[in-house]
Amino acid sequence: AVGWSGVLYVLPTLCTALTAGTWGRLADRYGRKRSLLRAQLGLALGFAIAGFAPSLSWLVVGLIVQGTCGGSLAAANAYLASQPQAGPLARALDWTQYSARLAMVSAPALLGLAIALGPAQSLYRALALLPLLAFALTWRLPADQPTARPRATAPSSSGTEQAARPSTAASALWPALLIAQFLFCFAMVVTFPYFIPYALARGAGHDALAGLLYSLPHLVYLVVLPWWRRGDGEAWLIPGLLLFALACLWQALLHDAIALAAARLLFGVGMLFGLRGLNRSLALVASGQGAGRLFGRFDACGKWAGVAAGAAAGALAQAAGPALPFLAAAVAAAGTALTVAVRFPSRRTADVAAHDA
């Protein structure tokens, strides 16, 4: 089973990448709240199968169900896009990312505690309760408002021009946004798999300190986001991506734990700026019509990047050690910044409701 660990680790992500677009289209057709409920039940079922699996084959089945029927983040974002917002959609997307960063911080500690208290497989049984709790909470949320397709009318030329402008900008932005999403997700994930041995080799001393250094960028997001309420997040996108690339390059070259801690803080600042900027661009593209398909494709793009990053991290670390994935991350982050600078249309031509109020 040890030899299968890498395959099993990436299997749910691969299944989500393969199915996210289909689930998104079905969400648009049958309702995004239903899709969110489906994703939560899928996660609960997948965790339960893995938790009670009597063999490796059943564990594989559980992970496939978890990945194929999951996708709760994309489903939640699509549901948010269909509901009246107390604030900009981009701010809501920031908070769904907040929940993901919170999981990245808390999961390693909870995993270590669970393994200390009992068999590792029992953790899956406990995890099955969390999506069931989310299902109960989601059940009480309002259903999707029906959205009729706009009927052809003959508006004034000025009205047509004003309505077409954001649509044209969004259409031009979407392909470049997918490229930026892939490259940025690749840059983040390629540094994850071998970070612990990398940190130990740089003087972290023990696993607990290495785990803290791993979590540090996500802690930056958790601490700073609630206080960052105003401002144009898109204006910080390219500087944030360049800071992220610089932090990755620094981590590839440094040799001590103190410098590593500083580089991880810079990594977190760049990640925060990058995610906020991409969320604002995504909110510009998103609308009530087709939001399920849009968020499904966006999530699938990130999952494919994760699969590619996991494979690349293994190959690079085996070839030249655990520092090389950071160089790959720096190149990918610089490529993301170049994509934004060259391919993103000017957002000044449209009234962008994605900006923070």
Domain range for 221 is 2-142+166-345
pLDDT given for residue 307 in this prediction: 92
Which of 46-50, 53-57, 165-169, 287-291 is predicted least confidently?
Answer: 165-169
Which of 67-76, 103-112, 148-157 is predicted least confidently?
Answer: 148-157
194 residue type, one letter: Y
Q: What is the mean pLDDT of residues 228-255?
A: 87
- 158 occurs within a structural domain: no
- 160 occurs within a structural domain: no
What is the count of structural domains for the chain? 1
Are 181 and 278 spatial neighbours (Cβ–Cβ below 8 Å)? Answer: yes
pLDDT given for residue 287 in this prediction: 63
Residues 6+ apart with CB under 8 A from 114: 120, 122, 123, 126
pLDDT for 153 beyond 50: no
Show the tokens assigned to 279: 């969320």
Report d(CA 215, CA 210) in Å as an integer. Answer: 9
pLDDT, tens only, 295-310: 999 999 999 999 999 9
- 278 occurs within a structural domain: yes
State the pLDDT confidence band at 90, using cuts at 50, 70 and 90. Answer: confident
Question: Coil, strand or helix: which one is 57?
Answer: helix
Residues 6+ apart with CB under 8 A from 228: 272, 276
> Residue 7, Cβ neighbours under 10 Å: how many?
11
- 356 occurs within a structural domain: no
Q: What is the mean pLDDT of residues 104-108?
A: 82
Are 81 and 288 spatial neighbours (Cβ–Cβ below 8 Å)? Answer: yes
State the pLDDT confidence band at 348, using cuts at 50, 70 and 90. Answer: very low
What CATH number has the domain bearing residue 254?
A: 1.20.1250.20
Greater model confidence, 93 or 249: 249
Q: Which residue has the tokens 């540090």?
A: 216
Greater model confidence, 200 or 3: 200
pLDDT given for residue 289 in this prediction: 62
- 81 occurs within a structural domain: yes
Q: What is the mean pLDDT of residues 96-122?
A: 80
Helix axes 257-285, 207-224, angle to 10 degrees: 40
- Percent of all residues in the chain with a pLDDT value above 90, rounded to a whole number: 48
Report d(CA 298, CA 274) in Å as an integer. Answer: 15
Q: What is the mean pLDDT of residues 252-259?
A: 93
155 residue type, one letter: P
* DSSP conformation class of 148: P
pLDDT for 85 beyond 90: no
- 150 occurs within a structural domain: no
State the pLDDT confidence band at 217, using cuts at 50, 70 and 90. Answer: very high
pLDDT given for residue 285 in this prediction: 87
pLDDT for 255 beyond 50: yes
Nearest Cα neighbor of 221 from 103, 109, 309 is 103
Which of 19-33, 72-86, 248-262 is predicted least confidently?
Answer: 72-86
Maximum separation of any 2 CA atoms in the chain, in Å:
70
- 352 occurs within a structural domain: no
**Mean pLDDT taken over the chain:** 84
Report d(CA 327, CA 248) in Å as an integer. Answer: 6
- 183 occurs within a structural domain: yes
> Residue 38, Cβ neighbours under 10 Å: how many?
21
State the pLDDT confidence band at 70, using cuts at 50, 70 and 90. Answer: confident
Q: For the chain, how big is the Rg over CA atoms in Å?
A: 21
- Percent of all residues in the chain with a pLDDT value above 70, rounded to a whole number: 84
Are 186 and 244 spatial neighbours (Cβ–Cβ below 8 Å)? Answer: no
pLDDT given for residue 194 in this prediction: 87
Are 43 and 66 spatial neighbours (Cβ–Cβ below 8 Å)? Answer: yes
Nearest Cα neighbor of 286 from 273, 299, 267 is 299
pLDDT for 178 beyond 90: yes
Greater model confidence, 278 or 70: 278
Sequence-ordered alpha helix ranges (H) in the chain: 5-30, 32-51, 56-68, 72-81, 89-117, 121-127, 129-139, 157-189, 195-201, 207-224, 237-253, 257-285, 291-320, 324-343
Report d(CA 124, CA 52) in Å as an integer. Answer: 8
Report d(CA 30, CA 41) in Å as an integer. Answer: 16
pLDDT given for residue 101 in this prediction: 92
> Residue 282, Cβ neighbours under 10 Å: how many?
23
